[in-house]
Amino acid sequence: MNEEFESQFDLPYLEFLKFALYFHSFISAKDVVADGIFKYLYKKYSEVIKGLTLARKNYISELDEMTTNASDYLYCLRPSYAFPFIQDNNALFLPLPHLIIKSVTSSLLYRLTSGNNMLTNRMGKAVFEEYLFNLVERSSTFDEIYREFEYYNGKSINKTIDIMLRKGNDYLFMDSKSTKPFISMRTFDEISIDKNIKVLAKSCVQMYKNLRNEFPQKYNPFKNVNEIQKENLWGIVVILEDSFVMREKIYQKAAEMLNIEVNSEEYNWFSLHICVVQLYEIERYCFVGEDIIKYMKRHAAEGRCNDFLLANELEGSEAVNKDFIDFKLMLIDFLSDFGEELKKEKLII
């Protein structure tokens, strides 16, 4: 990934990360000479800023590609998410400083993979699936955890769901999908919305078939050999970014694919035991070692199939993931070193 990134952006990712960290910190700090610090950052990270800058005419062109209707500007994906700096003649403008963090995280990822389906597919397996496994493994929450493997279903060789977990008598399966919303959904394009619903419904159907037809009848990696009840089966389709379409529409489409009658007992089980969740929410829970299954049970008990699972306050907040803790400590060290630089330049007290 480092090689792929540098090949496209001509800089290591760490340079973008440091710039965003320093810039975001100083614009919210007290007792700083903001103008002097920005000039210092501009000199030190000129190549990074160049990579986050669009000429005004190019900004307008990109916006026109998304929509030419001014009434859509409130909702559409603006170029500022990826290019917060705008160059006009010899002046550099930053209309929305709060987008700096967005521009060097998810936006850079989308720029890296834009128009490159081969890279997107490779990353789905080698990066997202691996990252998700590490997240749940290092949350220290589950009794057993297994990766995807091949099995014989009586007719052909199939693959299991990406990640299979057990906690007590409950079984949670996670399937990672490098799915993100279509840009045109932001302007309420019905065709794009329906297409997104179909993509997510298809993933839910795959999860349903594994939980109800394949496991544990045709494969079971777990050491626990007790009888498995369907009320103890849970599935999460983990997507890169949520489109926030109504969950009921996804379940109804999936039910149509499965020939399950809406509002039947099986439909109710399906809509409460299989959920679509974005990766960010899984991170929030796993970083602090919170039990995801506990929240899924609460979600099911309250019959909240249309709610966005896990989008709530956590009861625990102490980080347990060592990688996450080390990353935060690294950022603190970066800030401390940068503070010393600014003191030497007499830009902060």
Mean local confidence (pLDDT), 73-91: 86
Same domain flag for 192 and 121: yes
Does residue 77 fall inside a structural domain? yes
Same domain flag for 241 and 123: yes
Residue 77 pLDDT more than 80? no
Does pTM surpass 0.75?
yes
Residue 105 pLDDT more than 60? yes
Does residue 93 fall inside a structural domain? yes
Same domain flag for 215 and 331: no
| 264 burial level (CB within 10 Å; 0-12, 13-18, 19+) | exposed
Does residue 70 fall inside a structural domain? yes
Mean local confidence (pLDDT), 51-59: 96
Same domain flag for 128 and 254: yes
Does residue 349 fall inside a structural domain? no
Amino acid at 205: V
Alpha-carbon span 46 to 52, nearest angstrom: 10
Does residue 196 fall inside a structural domain? yes
Residue 5 pLDDT more than 70? yes
Does residue 190 fall inside a structural domain? yes
* pLDDT given at position 227: 84
Q: What is the CATH number of the domain that holds 170?
A: 3.40.91
Helix (H) or strand (E) holding 2: helix 2-9
Same domain flag for 202 and 257: yes
Does residue 287 fall inside a structural domain? yes
Query: What are 63-76's pLDDT values in tens digits?
Result: 888 777 777 667 66
Same domain flag for 87 and 127: no
Same domain flag for 297 and 331: no
Alpha-carbon span 259 to 257, nearest angstrom: 6
Residue whose C-alpha is closest to residue 173's, from 2, 292, 261, 20: 292
CA distances from 245 to 40, 141, 176, 251 (A): 44, 30, 18, 11
Q: Which of 113-117, 205-209, 278-282 has the lowest mean pLDDT?
A: 113-117
Does residue 57 fall inside a structural domain? yes
- Confidence band, pLDDT 50/70/90 cuts, at residue 32: low
Q: Which of 27-31, 46-50, 277-281 has the lowest mean pLDDT?
A: 27-31
Scan for tokens 């489109």, then name that residue: 243
Same domain flag for 75 and 154: no
Same domain flag for 188 and 266: yes
Domain that holds residue 199: 117-318
- Confidence band, pLDDT 50/70/90 cuts, at residue 178: confident
Same domain flag for 267 and 332: no
Same domain flag for 102 and 161: no
Q: Could you give the number of structural domains in the chain? A: 2
* C-alpha dihedral sign at 132, 135, 141, 143: positive
Same domain flag for 11 and 27: yes
Mean local confidence (pLDDT), 296-323: 77
What value does the mean pLDDT of the chain take? Answer: 89
Alpha-carbon span 126 to 184, nearest angstrom: 28
- Confidence band, pLDDT 50/70/90 cuts, at residue 182: low
Residue 7 pLDDT more than 90? yes
